[in-house]
Amino acid sequence: MTPACRVVEELLGIGPSDHVVIVHDEANADIAAAFEHAAAERGVLVERLAWGSIERRPLPACPSAVLRAIHGATATVMVVSWEEGEYDARYALINAVIGARTRHVHMIGTGRRAFIGSMMASTGRVFELLQAVRAAMRPASRLSVRSLAGTHLDVEMAPHLRWFANGHAVVPGHWINVPFGALISSPATVNGVYVVDASIGGGFGARSGLLTSRPIKLTIEGSRVRRVECSDITLRRYVETFMAESKDRDRVGLLSLGANLGIREALGEVVHDENMPGLHLSLGDTVPTRTGATWTAYGQLAFASGAADVDLDGEPLIRRTRYVRFV
């Protein structure tokens, strides 16, 4: 089964009565065509819209043509490259998906290699692992992360915070990010050092690639980044600028426990790497409607680490990108 067919069949569950809308940019026309072919094979109506030829990028808002198409669809796919300044446009698209109760797949800044590599594992196996890890979480669980690169991080959860899976068959009014396969929540407290030696989000991060030779070291106290260190001055300033531009952007907003069993190594694309078994984090937006967090921030910057060991409530969970429990 091709990656596109797996998305269409196993994630979206496309059937003969569906109307599928695919939104894409020029750089992802080939992936969009693969989705179109996979959906058309099931005898459904497929509509493709260009994101970026409608208006010059970055788009300040979601084009009205896209919003109208979403409201006439039952399933949607967005596959575009990352552009700084399009947060509001993408946010509006997601709100339209929720309002129209479509089933949506969201692919932002995902290269062909990352897309194919992330779809190698059986979706059923990934779903089962996510369910098992979620069931093991307690209201006040503690996570401990250590790596040879220098990460030593301690995380505490709280009863009001919820975990949600980016790995499930999509139902109306919901969406899934692809690559997929992570359990996500907002932490109560985070303390320690987190070494980002895989990848970083954002447009600049997408161009920076794999960070193995120039890792970013984040010193975190009380869930806030107190110090950023990196041999690459441009990378360090990129992170510092993001944190300074808006309130609470220096605060850890999300944790991501990667659980995609098909991903064994980082590629330098954060949307891929944050699904690799390990613990990854984001600054800013907490997605409060899904996590139950009582605060949030405008904007988000994601970080992914390489091979790290993760303990859950004092028991081994992950050892160097492999789950040692539940598999």
Q: Supply the CATH number for residue 87's domain.
A: 3.40.1830.10
Domain count of the fold of the chain: 2
Side-chain-facing half-sphere of 159: CA atoms under 13 Å: 0
For 26, the domain range is 3-108
- 224 and 279 co-located in one domain: yes
Please check whether residues 140 and 104 belong to one and the same domain.
no
Question: What 8-state DSSP symbol labels residue 8?
Answer: I
Per-residue pLDDT of the chain (327 residues; tens, 9 = 90+): 899 999 999 999 999 999 999 999 999 999 999 999 999 999 999 999 999 765 688 999 999 999 999 999 999 999 999 888 898 999 999 999 999 999 999 999 898 999 998 998 889 999 999 999 999 999 999 999 999 999 999 999 999 999 999 998 899 999 999 999 999 999 999 999 999 999 999 889 989 999 999 999 999 999 999 999 999 999 999 999 999 999 999 999 999 999 999 999 999 999 999 999 999 999 999 999 999 999 999 999 999 999 999 999 999 999 999 999 987
- Residues 166 and 246 placed together within one structural domain of the fold: yes
Query: Does residue 191 lie in a domain region?
Result: yes
β partners of residue 106? 78, 177
Both tokens assigned to 57: 């990028």
Q: Could you give the dihedral angle defined by the CA atoms of residues 114, 116, 118 and 119, in that order, rounded to the nearest 10 degrees? A: 160
Q: Are residues 82 and 137 in the same domain?
A: no
Burial of 135 (0-12, 13-18, 19+ CB in 10 A): exposed
Decide if 256 is inside a domain.
yes
Q: How far apart (Å, rounded) are the C-alpha atoms in residues 287 and 132?
A: 23
Do you know the residue count of the chain? Answer: 327
Domain boundary among 73, 108, 143: 108
Look up residue 9 and give its DSSP letter. I
